[in-house]
Structure 1
Amino acid sequence: MNILISGGSGFLGSAFSNGIMARYRAQNKALHITWLTRDSSQAHPNDIEMITYDELASSDKSFEVVLNLAGAGIADSRWSDERKEQLLASRIKPTESLLAFIKRSSVKPKLMVSGSAIGWYGVQGDKPLTESSDFETDFAHQLCGQWEQLALKATKYGVPVAIVRTGVVIHPEGGMLGKLLTPFKLGLGGQLGDGQQIMSWVSRDDWVGAVIFIIEQHLAGKGADNSVDTRKTIGATTHDNTLHTTNDTPAVVYNLTSPNPVTNHTFTKTLGTWLHRPTFFTLPEFLLKLMFGEMSTLLIDGQRVLPQALLDAGYEFQQPTLKQALEQQKS
């Protein structure tokens, strides 16, 4: 199988590459991974090919799967107007390049998996949210919504699309946990606000496992004529996770979250216990708003997002609880 990945060297892309390579080697299956990059001199594993966006524009290569992950971290800095534009452009421009490649390719990909986030649902408190839930409009929703709608244009060229809305990814190498390890190890960790906001999280191992599961489910589906029947594979769940498009090519969405979201208070205490450190401190809501401005909504306002489509499709979580996810890591 040939896979093209934008954002391949990132926190999720590199883990996915390692995970699927290990799986295919164990099964003695052929696999070739290409990372899409703006810098051809970027360090990368020897068994991964690099291609620049300029090279992609004239490439005649074909890929069975396109994994679209490129995008600046939404929580990396305060949301100024300039930063909001950067966040959007970092997602839109790579996606446009992939769509241009797909449009002119004589052999189309069999599937495009495109990133998004649970921010699509907006702030909805403790309300359980599945793939068929509606949204509340805020900046996070607008950002995710524009990214998703652009990715869905791949269906115009006959390429099925799976949107993956990712929660807080747990792994010490990066993401939220990577940023919290130092203060928590110093005994400076504590809950945010009243600590009752819901945190919808997923271990990085399960994020990788779920994306591989989605890809393999789709590629393994066969119709009566022994050809890939996308209508019977992608989105083949009892839960309605289909997305509306203007054509007949299927598109679906999956929430990439654990089935067991936790409050910020529980997360704080569980992390402190794992690190054998106290968690006495509390950052009050007013101080978080002062420090982070509009971006503080990511810390103060929770979301209870559930992976209903994954569960219905038969995915079995390796680390369904936060305690299990942390215990699999080295502190």
Structure 2
Amino acid sequence: MNILISGGSGFLGSAFSDALLRRYQKMGKDLHITWLTRDSSQAHPDNINMMTYDELAKFDDAGQGFDVIVNLAGAGIADQRWSDERKEKLLASRIKPTEALLAFIERTTNKPKLLISGSAIGWYGTQGDKPLTESSGFETDFAHKLCQDWENLALKATDHDVPVAIVRTGVVMHPEGGMLGKLLTPFKMGVGGQLGDGKQIMSWISREDWVGATMFIMEKHLADQSDDQQRVSHDDNALKTGNNTPAVVYNLTAPNPVTNHVFTETLGTHLHRPTFFTLPKALLKVMFGEMSTLLIDGQKVLPQALLESGYEFKQPTLEQALVEQK
């Protein structure tokens, strides 16, 4: 199996690559992973191949192409304030890699069997504590528009008979990075605390389950195709594309979302540190501007499609995610 991953060296892509290599080695199957990069000198593990975007544009797949493409490239939405310049960078960092992959898909002789393309639960917009599944609607805001543009572009792969699985990811928990990685130091110092009134819902997933769920989606859809099954999705997670090539969406969130207050108390207990501090909503708006919506406005996003497809979460509770991840 040959897999091409954009964003392969990132927080999620590297963990996904490692897990795939371990799994296929254990099964005694051949697996070749290639990371798509703009910098050919980028450090990478010895068992990972590297390909630049320029090389992809010239790549001749007459012999053998890629069985699966995983599209994860994109600048961190919560890394900086959302100035107009930052918004343009957030969009470009998602659109340009996806356009390069689509151009490759269009001209390649050996079409991939599946494109897995990243997105985020920001697609649903701010909807408070309303339960949201893959069939739910959205509220329009910047995060929704960003995700919508990214998803719409990825879905064009179906025009070339390539099935697409969109993965809308929640807050990914792991001490090596993401939100948890940033919060560990202040919480360990005893200055961690809740944000605003703490009532906002946080839809999260452990990195281990993100990796496991993405691998599950990949293997399920490949198996469905090999069995000549006509339907590889439930009606509530199918996406409209204007053609008959399958396109689906999955919420990559744990089945037990928590409030910010519960998250704060749980992390403090895990680290044996007090959590007396509170950052008022007004101060967060001053500090982060429009981006503060990510911190003070909640989303209760549930992984209905994953659960109905048979995925079993390894760390369904926040306590498990904090204790068991290494």
Is TM > 0.5 for Structure 1 vs Structure 2?
Answer: yes
- One of 243, 246, 266 as aligned partner of 1:247: 243
Counterpart Cα distance in 1 of 2:195 and 2:21? 38
Deviation for aligned residue 1:60: 1.7
Q: Which stretches of structure 1, 4 residues or more, deviate above 4 A after TM superposition?
A: none
Q: Distance in 1 between matches of 2:56 and 2:302?
A: 36
1:8 alignment partner in structure 2: 8
Write out aligned runs for 1:1-331 (5 A): 1-61=1-61, 62-222=65-225, 227=226, 229=228, 231-233=230-232, 235=233, 237=234, 240-329=236-325
Deviations 1:113-163 (A, max 9, x none): 000000000000000000000000000000000000000000000000000
Q: Give the alignment's TM-score, normalised by structure 2.
A: 0.98
Q: 3-state DSSP class of the match of 1:221?
A: helix
CA distance in 1, matches of 2:89, 2:229: 35
2:15 and 2:73 map into 1 onto residues whose CA distance is 14
Shift of 1:221: 1.8
Aligned length: 323
TM-superposed CA distance for 1:26, in Å, is 1.1
| Stretches of structure 2 lacking an aligned partner (at least 5 in a row) | none
Change (3 A) 1:60 1:230: farther
Deviations 1:77-106 (A, max 9, x none): 000000000000000000000000000000
Q: Which residue identity does 1:192 align to in structure 2? A: L
Q: Would you say the 8 A contact 2:128–2:298 is kept in 1?
A: yes
SS of equivalent residue, structure 1 residue 131: coil
Alignment TM-score, normalising by the size of structure 1? 0.96
- How many angstroms apart in 2 are the aligned matches of 1:279 and 1:57? 51
Mapped partners of 2:230, 2:296: distance in 1: 40
Unaligned runs of 5+ in 1: none
Distance in 1 (CA, whole Å) between partners of 2:170 and 2:315 is 14
Q: What percentage of aligned pairs have identical amino acids?
A: 76
SS of alignment partner, residue 126 of structure 1: coil
- CA shift for structure 1 position 228: 5.1
- 3-state SS, counterpart of residue 267 of structure 2: helix
In 2: Cα distance, 1:139 partner to 1:132 partner: 20
The structural deviation recorded for 1:232 is: 2.8
Quote the Cα distance in structure 1 between the aligned partners of 2:110 and 2:208.
32
CA distance in 2, matches of 1:49, 1:228: 30
AA paired with 1:86? K
State the one-letter code of the partner of 2:117. Answer: S
CA-to-aligned-CA distance 1:183-224 (integer Å, 9 cap, x gap) = 0000000000000000000000000000000000011125xx
**Contact between 1:218 and 1:230, CA under 8 Å: does it hold in 2?**
no
Q: Give the superposed CA RMSD.
A: 0.9
